[in-house]
Chains A and B, each alone.
Chain A
Amino acid sequence: SQTIHQWPATLVQPVGSPLSLECTVEGTSNPNLYWYRQAAGRGLQLLFYSVGIGQISSEVPQNLSASRPQDRQFILSSKKLLLSDSGFYLCAWSGEANYNEQFFGPGTRLTVL
């Protein structure tokens, strides 16, 4: 069966520090991968989308970047965090079956102070 992992689960970082969040998927190959941010009282916002290794689409201009160094690994990064980067970050994957149903990871709670 497929599983999706994210780490760390929680993170507290000072403004201006770098960021690296990791997401890995097991049990499937060539998945579509997504990074979302969920702010309090708001819906999920798509940040990045990847259909394959090295292929990244950015949905919104921001202080963040994403990379996909391996088929089942998706990394969210920042060189210098802003206060507005605080939020709940979710990684998700989808495949060809069942209308590209998305499966979400457990999330990372990021607090920038």
Chain B
Amino acid sequence: KNQVEQSPQSLIILEGKNCTLQCNYTVSPFSNLRWYKQDTGRGPVSLTIMTFSENTKSNGRYTATLDADTKQSSLHITASQLSDSASYICVAHGTGGGADGLTFGKGTHLIIQP
């Protein structure tokens, strides 16, 4: 069964600090992995998409890594800002994940404190 597990469930850090969110997936066959940012009460917004051949991809202060061998991904946020407070959702794309091919994690709820 395709699964995506994210950790931690929630995280509180001080503004300006760095943090790393984790994602483990079991999706086969695997196509790509996506990270979304979802502000409270809003739709998710794509941060990165990585195929199995990509190890890292950056989007501003967000850097995602992917290890297709261990089926792990991480999202690193540098110099956090108050606006980074949101849920971060990891999504694995594979042909066995339903009509959309996607398996969603439950998200990590990140709170940035001033």
- List A residues at the B interface (Cβ < 8 Å): 32, 34, 41-46, 49, 57, 59, 88, 90, 92, 94, 98-107, 109
Instruction: Report how many A-B pairs have Cβ atoms within 8 Å.
Output: 54
- List B residues at the A interface (Cβ < 8 Å): 4, 31-32, 34, 36, 41-46, 49, 51, 89, 93, 98-102, 104-107
* From A34, A42, A46, A105, residue with most partner B Cβ within 10 Å: A46
In the complex with contacts A98-B49, A99-B32, A101-B49, A90-B102 CB distance below 8 A: no
Are B43's CB and A106's CB within 8 A?
A: yes
- The residue on A at minimum CB distance from B46 is A101
**Chain B residues touching A, majority SS:** strand
In the complex with contacts A42-B106, A43-B106, A44-B104, A59-B49 CB distance below 8 A: no
- The residue on B at minimum CB distance from A109 is B41
